[in-house]
Chains A and B, each alone.
Chain A
Amino acid sequence: MNGYNFAYLDEQTKRMIRRALLKAVAIPGYQVPFGGREMPMPYGWGTGGMQLTASILGSDDVLKVIDQGADDTTNAVSIRAFFQRVAGVETTTATTSASVIQTRHRIPEAALSHGQILVFQVPIPEPLRFIEPSEQETRLMHALEEYGVMHVKLYEDIARYGHIATTYAYPVKVDDRYVMDPSPIPKFDNPKLHMNEALMLFGAGREKRLYAIPPYTRVESLDFEDHPFEIQAWDECCALCGSETSYLDEVITDDAGNRMFVCSDTDYCMTRRGEVA
Chain B
Amino acid sequence: MNRSVLPRPDLERPALLDVHNVSRLYGPDKGCQEINFRLHAGEVLGIVGESGSGKSTLLRVLAGLEAPDAGHVAYHSANDDTLDLYAISEARRRALLRLEWGLIHQNPRDGLRMGVSAGANIGERLMALGQRHYGQLRAAGQDWMGQVELDPGRIDDAPRTFSGGMQQRLQIARTLVTRPRLVFMDEPTGGLDVSVQARLLDMIRTLVRQLGLSVVLVTHDLAVARLLSHRLLVMRRSRVVEAGLTDQILDDPQHAYTQLLVSSVLTP
Binding site for B on A (CB under 8 A): 131, 140, 143-144, 146-149, 151-153, 155-156, 158-160, 223-227
Give the residues from 136 to 165 in chain B that come closer than 8 angstroms, CB to CB, to chain A. 137-138, 155-156
Using Cβ atoms and an 8 Å threshold, which residues of chain A touch B115?
A: 131
Instruction: Give 30 A-B contacts (CB < 8 Å), ordered by A residue.
Output: A131-B113, A131-B115, A140-B90, A140-B94, A144-B91, A144-B94, A144-B95, A146-B94, A147-B128, A148-B98, A148-B127, A149-B124, A151-B123, A152-B113, A152-B116, A152-B124, A152-B127, A153-B116, A155-B120, A155-B134, A156-B116, A159-B120, A159-B138, A160-B117, A160-B156, A223-B132, A224-B132, A224-B133, A224-B134, A224-B137
- How far does the alpha carbon of A149 sit from the alpha carbon of B137 in the complex, in Å? 14
Whether A156 contacts B117 in the complex (CB less than 8 A), given A151-B132, A225-B132, comes out as yes
**Are A155 and B132 in contact (CB-based, < 8 A)?**
no
Q: How far is the CB of B90 from chain A (nearest CB, A)?
A: 7
* CB-CB nearest in chain B for A158: B134
A151 to B124 alpha-carbon distance, docked (Å): 8
Cβ contacts under 8 Å, A140 to chain B: 90, 94
Q: A167 → chain B, closest Cβ, in Å?
A: 18
A178 CB to nearest chain B CB (Å): 15
Interface presence of B135 (CB below 8 A): yes
The listed residue (A131, A148, A159) touching B156 by CB distance below 8 A is A159
Within 8 Å of chain A (Cβ to Cβ): is B119?
Answer: yes
- Residue B125 CB within 8 A of the other chain: yes
| B55-109 contacts to A (CB < 8 Å) | 90-91, 94-95, 98
Most chain B CB neighbours (cut-off 10 Å) among A153, A156, A160: A156
Question: 17 extra interchain contacts, Cβ-Cβ under 8 A, other than A140-B90, A146-B128, A225-B133?
Answer: A143-B91, A147-B128, A148-B124, A148-B127, A148-B128, A152-B116, A152-B120, A152-B124, A153-B116, A155-B116, A155-B119, A155-B123, A159-B120, A159-B156, A224-B132, A224-B134, A226-B134
> Which residues on the A side are within 8 Å of B125 (C-beta)?
148
- Bound complex: CA of A146 vs CA of B91, how far in Å? 9
Chain A's nearest CB lies how many Å from the CB of B13? 32
CA distance A143 to B132 in the complex (A): 21
A155 touches B156 (CB 8 A): no
Q: Is the CB of A226 within 8 A of B116?
A: no
How far, in angstroms, from A227 to B138 measured CA to CA in the complex? 13
Chain A proximity of B28: nearest CB distance (Å): 30
Residue of B at shortest CB range from A160?
B156
Name which residue of chain B comes closest to A145, CB basis.
B91
CA distance A192 to B23 in the complex (A): 55
Name the residue among A140, A143, A159 with the largest chain B CB count within 10 angstroms: A159
For chain B, residues 157 to 185, give those with C-beta under 8 angstroms from any C-beta of chain A: none
Residue of B nearest to A141 (CB): B94
CB distance from A128 to the nearest CB of B (A): 13
> Once the chains bind, are B98 and A146 in contact (CB under 8 Å)?
yes
Q: How far apart sit A149 and B135, CA to CA, in the bound complex (Å)?
A: 17
- What's the Cα separation between A160 and B134 when bound, in Å? 13
Closest A-chain residue to B125, C-beta based? A148
Cβ distance B30 to chain A, nearest Cβ, rounded Å: 26
Q: Considering the chains assembled together, what is the distance between the CA atoms of A148 and B186 in angstroms?
A: 24
Q: How far is the CA of A159 from the CA of B123 in the complex (A)?
A: 12
Instruction: Assess the A144–B90 pair: CB atoms within 8 A.
Output: yes
- A147 to B124 CA separation, bound complex (whole angstroms): 10
Which residues on A sit within 8 Å (CB–CB) of B135? 226
Most chain B beta carbons < 10 A, residue from A147, A148, A226: A148
Contacts of B132 in A (CB 8 A): 151, 223-225
Complex formed: what's the CA distance from A146 to B95 in Å? 9
A27 vs B140: C-alpha distance in the bound complex, in angstroms? 36
**Chain B residues in 8 Å Cβ range of A153:** 116
Which residues of chain B come closer than 8 Å to A159, judged between CB atoms? 117, 119-120, 138, 155-156
Complex CA gap A151/B127 in Å reads 7
B91 neighbours in A (Cβ, 8 Å):
143-144
Complex interface: chain B residues within 8 A of A158 (CB)? 134
Ordered nearest first, which 5 A-B pairs have the shortest CB separation? A148-B128, A151-B127, A224-B134, A148-B127, A144-B91
Q: How far is the CA of A148 from the CA of B132 in the complex (A)?
A: 10
Q: How far is the CA of A225 from the CA of B136 in the complex (A)?
A: 10
Which chain B residues lie closer than 8 Å to A148 at the CB level? 98, 124-125, 127-129
